[in-house]
A and B are shown apart, each in its own frame.
Chain A
Amino acid sequence: DTEVTQTPKHLVMGMTNKKSLKCEQHMGHRAMYWYKQKAKKPPELMFVYSYEKLSINESVPSRFSPECPNSSLLNLHLHALQPEDSALYLCASSQGPDSYYGYTFGSGTRLTVV
């Protein structure tokens, strides 16, 4: 299995809802990432998990809460989002945080906040 799988593919949520995005990989990668991508813009790093520990939080608002239950899974819990949070949320993984082999990206969850 050489893929990063993200669910759901699309999500519409109200500003008072609580939802979660899920990401899974079975490549034995020990670093996992959440990125946010707006249309026609590069991905922006949100969080890095390295060996299941949160190593980077790029000053992301607390309405986004990451969780890494084990080395294969990464979640992003969403609560009280704003319409400007609508974007494509990408999960990625790499062998380690210093991997010059590059990342493997998932296909993303397209989130719309109404």
Chain B
Amino acid sequence: AQRVTQPEKLLSVFKGAPVELKCNYSYSGSPELFWYVQYSRQRLQLLLRHISRESIKGFTADLNKGETSFHLKKPFAQEEDSAMYYCALLGSGNTGKLIFGQGTTLQVKP
């Protein structure tokens, strides 16, 4: 079965603290993984794609095939990072289906 698991519903940190949002997946083969962010009252936005190995807004995510993980990290959280974060997996079979995790709300306190 193809599945994405985000074990934490809520992650609360203080400004300046490191952040790690966990994502584990279940997939046969080479996965295509993404992180999406949804700020309050804004549209769902693509934050990162694993294939591009980029850093956006200070966030990075590394694919670990051995641990089937794609955790999102930032060394120093900012208040404006407070949002809902979804990890997503592109389903197999050329369907275009994105399989989302349940999401983690990140709350950055001043």
If A42-B101, A42-B102, A90-B44 touch, whether A101 touches B96 (CB-CB below 8 Å) is no
B residues at A contact (CB < 8 Å): 32, 34, 36, 42-46, 49, 51, 84, 86, 90, 94-98, 100-103, 105
Query: Which of B44, B49, B51, B100: most chain A CB closer than 10 A?
Result: B44
For B98, list chain A residues within 8 Å (CB): 43, 45, 103
Contact A104 B46 (CB under 8 A): yes
Which stretch (A19-27, A73-81, A92-100) binds chain B? A92-100
Contact B94 A98 (CB under 8 A): yes
List the 7 closest pairs (A to B, CB-CB), nearest first.
A97-B96, A42-B100, A107-B43, A105-B44, A102-B46, A100-B32, A31-B96
If A42-B101, A100-B51, A102-B49 touch, whether A48 touches B95 (CB-CB below 8 Å) is yes
Contact B86 A42 (CB under 8 A): yes
Number of chain A interface residues as a range? 20 to 34
Taking CB as reference atom, which chain A residue is nearest B44? Answer: A105
Docked complex Cα distance between A12 and B109 (Å):
36
A residues at B contact (CB < 8 Å): 31, 33, 40-43, 45, 48, 50, 55-56, 90, 94, 96-108
Query: Which of B46, B84, B98, B105: most chain A CB closer than 10 A?
Result: B98
For A103, list chain B residues within 8 Å (CB): 46, 98
Q: Nearest Cβ in chain B — how far from A35, in angstroms?
A: 8
For A45, list chain B residues within 8 Å (CB): 97-98
Contacts A45-B97, A102-B49, A103-B46 supplied; 16 other A-B pairs, CB < 8 Å: A40-B84, A40-B105, A41-B102, A42-B100, A42-B101, A42-B102, A43-B100, A45-B98, A48-B95, A56-B95, A100-B49, A100-B51, A102-B36, A105-B43, A105-B45, A107-B42
